[in-house]
Chain A
Amino acid sequence: MSHPRARLIYVPLVLGSLVMMFPLWWMLNISLATPERAGAATVSTDALRLWPSDPQWSNYPEAMREVGSREWVGFLDALTNSVVVTTITVIATVLSCSLVAYALARIRFRGRRSLFLVMLATMMLPPQVTMIPLFLLFRALGWIDTLLPLIVPAFFGNAFFIFMYRQFFASVPEALVEAARIDGCGHVEIWWRIMLPLCRPVTAITAVFTFIFVWNDFLGPLIYLHADERVTLAVALNSFRNRYGGLEDVQYLMALSLVTMVPCIVLFFVAQKQLIEGLSKGAVKG
């Protein structure tokens, strides 16, 4: 793609990227505004200024300090909870999804097709349908106000990632598996030593997307966590929104939203290459 017209292609691309970035830039712009500007002045032409004339970086520590009922502690608690839930969930999801997908893709057993179909159906079940029954179940187990309802289900896998892993595993040459079997490997060893190393891009997709979904998940933590020191960052952000949603405080809300997004953005930057590779390998072969 070296002909000169290829250069022209960057024009719509740059414009498109700018459109996508626009609301985020605007968020950043507001998060740095002074109280007076954030509230009223955004209507005037002043709003179109590329960068605030007087950036209020102190909005950020200010917003973080005000999370929860105790200064700073609320923010740190929420951050810790989010990190704990997200880390364990990511590891559990990768392990259980790939193991299940291995069985579904490479082992022939009775009921395999119907099991796969039923599993796909659960993937499309609207969360509102399962919300109340699950809440009753977790309450009966005494798990309300602990992180368990958010962590434990991850060990049972997630239909979408099982699906992605399965598509990928199905395309691994049979000869490779056969060779391993002759060398005396059982299913678990084939899964751990051959399949998992071969499908690092799919693992990257699973890990990154699970991270983003769990980090941003709002409904789950909202239902199961009530105590102030138990909530995750997404819920803390929402109560913050209810408390500081007024026009005069909108800059704090935007600042805290951006702080919440930082880990996801960093992770996506780092894993971007692996992700594209994984999508092209995992998705196209389907």
Chain B
Amino acid sequence: MSPHAKPRNERAWFLVLPVCVLVAFNALIPLMTVVNYSVQDIVSPDQRVFVGWEWFKSVLRDPELHAAFGRQVLFSVVVLAIELPLGLSVALCLPRGPGGSTWQASLCTVLIAMPLLVPWNVVGTIWQVFARTDIGLGGAVLTKLGVDYNYALDPVHAWGTVVVMDVWHWTPLVVLLCYAGLRAIPETYYGAAAVDGASRWAVFRYIELPRLSGVLTIGVLLRFMDSFVIYTEPFVLTGGGPGSSTTFLSQHLSTLAVGQFDLGRASAFSLIYFLPILIVCYVFYTLMTREERS
């Protein structure tokens, strides 16, 4: 598309009005408030002192934040490393007939998608009860097997439980995305591969994987975003404990803002938190629009 292919139409701003309001509502107004708080020490509406970078400096030096950030990155990486290959392999197993889906595939899709339909706070509740060693089936079975399992006391077990819960909850989304991507590959590709005598691996490597790059990009970024701001489920399951071993960034932020009502530090923290998200967003945008521009 050359820049002069179509005449520009400034009236389009009228149609985009909702999105401007959305951006103002969800981003500009809150961000302005947050910036406002982050550079001042506001004791009361008429008692405020400009402090410049002080909050930022103090937040960036906070060892708790460093720990929470490390945990957050580790969590996102672990979750992505498990959910994507797992979701992809499940999607590859799902049968896909030439003329639309078979009823077996439909049934599997619905069954696999079930965890996506559970309310977030119920997800936490299910696993909280499920993993308890005294009444929960999962916890009780592990104990019977001789594992000294207790997610409320052992940080490793708490981590394991949070990761398993997230994998259970969100792998279905990856499966659905990949399955949809596979369904969109024309039958003729497989025909050509069969004529060439291509192995199953070659079909996957040279046909399926490249054709799935679009959905996989979406999958990676959706899962990254969600896992990077995860709140409700670990909050209900472990409350961030034991100690602060499962306290992720958003929970650390909430404690700072709502718990300690330390709005200056919390606002500075929000802005710092937003930075990696913005970078990922830019990468996302570049990847998604790369093909359109070329």
Most buried by B among A103, A108, A124, A238: A124
A280 touches B15 (CB 8 A): no
Q: Which of A3-41 contact B (CB under 8 A)?
A: 6, 9-10, 12-13, 16-17, 20-21, 23-24, 26-27, 30, 39-40
Residues of B within 8 A of A79 (CB): none
> Does B294 sit at the interface, judged by CB under 8 A?
no
B125 touches A281 (CB 8 A): no
> Does A116 sit at the interface, judged by CB under 8 A?
yes
Q: Which of B240-292 contact A (CB under 8 A)?
A: 250, 253-254, 257, 270, 273-274, 277-278, 280-282, 284-285, 288, 292
Most buried by A among B11, B30, B257: B30
Given A124-B225, A155-B18, A156-B18: A13 and B108 within 8 A (CB)?
A: yes
Q: Which of B84-140 contact A (CB under 8 A)?
A: 90, 93-97, 100-101, 104, 106, 108-122, 125-127, 129-130, 134-137, 140
B181 touches A21 (CB 8 A): no
Binds A, one of B20-28, B63-71, B147-155: B20-28
> Does A218 sit at the interface, judged by CB under 8 A?
yes
Min CB distance A173 to B, Å, is 14
CA distance A43 to B96 in the complex (A): 41
Closest to A103 in B: B15
A120 touches B176 (CB 8 A): no
Residues of B within 8 A of A16 (CB): 90, 93, 112
Given A1-B97, A10-B104, A250-B129: A124 and B281 within 8 A (CB)?
A: yes
CA distance A221 to B248 in the complex (A): 23
> Does B61 sit at the interface, judged by CB under 8 A?
no
> Does A264 sit at the interface, judged by CB under 8 A?
yes
B15 touches A241 (CB 8 A): no
CA distance A171 to B6 in the complex (A): 16
A127 touches B229 (CB 8 A): yes
Most buried by A among B110, B137, B176, B179: B137
Given A109-B8, A281-B184: A128 and B257 within 8 A (CB)?
A: yes
B231 touches A128 (CB 8 A): yes
A159 touches B30 (CB 8 A): no
The answer, among B13, B27, B274, for a CB contact under 8 Å with A118, is: B27
CA distance A101 to B182 in the complex (A): 26
Number of interface residues of A (CB under 8 A): 97
A159 touches B22 (CB 8 A): yes
Closest to A40 in B: B135
Given A47-B137, A279-B180: A253 and B27 within 8 A (CB)?
A: no
> Does B52 sit at the interface, judged by CB under 8 A?
no
Min CB distance A285 to B, Å, is 7
Min CB distance A39 to B, Å, is 7
A283 touches B218 (CB 8 A): yes
CA distance A122 to B122 in the complex (A): 27
> Does A175 sit at the interface, judged by CB under 8 A?
no
CA distance A110 to B12 in the complex (A): 9
A/B pair count, beta carbons within 8 Å:
269
The answer, among B16, B130, B284, for a CB contact under 8 Å with A120, is: B284
Residues of A within 8 A of B217 (CB): 286
CA distance A103 to B10 in the complex (A): 11
B33 touches A133 (CB 8 A): yes
A100 touches B292 (CB 8 A): no
12 CB < 8 A contacts A-B: A1-B95, A20-B115, A99-B18, A104-B16, A123-B281, A126-B231, A128-B253, A128-B270, A237-B121, A241-B125, A260-B122, A276-B183
The answer, among A109, A128, A167, A257, for a CB contact under 8 Å with B13, is: A109
Q: Which of A125-147 contact B (CB under 8 A)?
A: 125-130, 132-134, 136-137
CA distance A271 to B115 in the complex (A): 16
> Does B40 sit at the interface, judged by CB under 8 A?
no
Residues of A within 8 A of B109 (CB): 272, 276
CA distance A241 to B123 in the complex (A): 13
Residues of B within 8 A of A250 (CB): 129, 135
Residues of B within 8 A of A238 (CB): 121
Closest to A256 in B: B122
